[in-house]
């Protein structure tokens, strides 16, 4: 039982941070960055480099997913088919799948995009001048890709959290 309490604690604390940070980015930071125009890119680069937000968010997401999968295995009776037909099983499965999709998009789209943007930023900084037109175009393309992915992840995580939060009462 202590094992499940520990997993639940880690799952909830990391999940709150991961989902909350994603929602904050999608709802507040990204619109502000867009409003800042070219200076918004500088802010995002600084946010990424100074406090390693993408790494911390990915670590929180990883712990959330791992603990969630371990708990899922336990509460499902080691993936018993009949459990999946219960209200609890269906909601937890849907919530889990949505969370996994958000995690996959974060690792497969957002994180590599951030790394690419940081690499371009380092090249620009090393040159001592402004970005070339090609670099600027690539940064704008990557920024749009990152913002779209973040908005999708935010919707997935909000829906996942919503499903998981009502399970106890069904």
> Can you give the pLDDT at residue 49?
74
> Can you give the pLDDT at residue 125?
85
> Can you give the pLDDT at residue 5?
95
> Can you give the pLDDT at residue 80?
94
CB atoms within 10 A of CB 89: 19
How far apart CA 114 and CA 40 sit, in angstroms, is 14
Residue 9: give the domain boundaries. Answer: 2-169
CB atoms within 10 A of CB 41: 20
Q: pLDDT of the chain along its 170 residues, tens only?
A: 699 999 999 999 999 999 999 999 999 999 999 998 878 877 887 777 777 888 899 999 999 999 999 999 999 999 999 999 999 999 999 999 999 999 999 999 999 998 898 899 889 889 888 889 999 999 999 999 999 999 999 999 999 999 999 988 87
Give the chain's domain count: 1
The beta strand positions in 48-99, using DSSP E, are none
How far apart CA 2 and CA 84 sit, in angstroms, is 25
Q: What is the pTM of this model?
A: 0.90
Q: b or e along 127-143 (b: 16 or more beta carbons within 10 Å of the residue's beta carbon)?
A: eeeebeeeeeeebeebb
How far apart CA 97 and CA 88 sit, in angstroms, is 14
């Amino acid at each position: 039982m202590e094992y499940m309490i520990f997993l639940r604690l880690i799952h909830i604390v990391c999940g709150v941070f991961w989902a909350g940070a994603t929602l904050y980015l999608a709802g507040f930071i990204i619109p502000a960055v867009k409003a800042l125009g070219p200076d918004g890119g500088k802010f995002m680069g600084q946010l990424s480099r100074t406090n390693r937000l993408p790494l911390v968010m990915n670590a929180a997401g990883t712990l959330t997913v791992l603990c969630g999968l371990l708990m899922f295995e336990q509460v499902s009776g080691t993936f018993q088919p009949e459990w999946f037909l219960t209200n609890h099983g269906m909601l937890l499965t849907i919530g889990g799948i949505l969370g996994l999709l958000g995690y996959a998009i974060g690792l497969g789209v957002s994180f590599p995009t951030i790394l690419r943007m940081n690499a371009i930023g380092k090249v620009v900084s090393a040159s001592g001048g402004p970005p070339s037109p090609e670099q600027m175009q690539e940064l704008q393309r990557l920024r749009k890709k990152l913002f779209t992915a973040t908005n999708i992840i935010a919707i997935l995580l909000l829906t996942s959290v919503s499903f998981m939060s009502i399970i106890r009462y069904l």
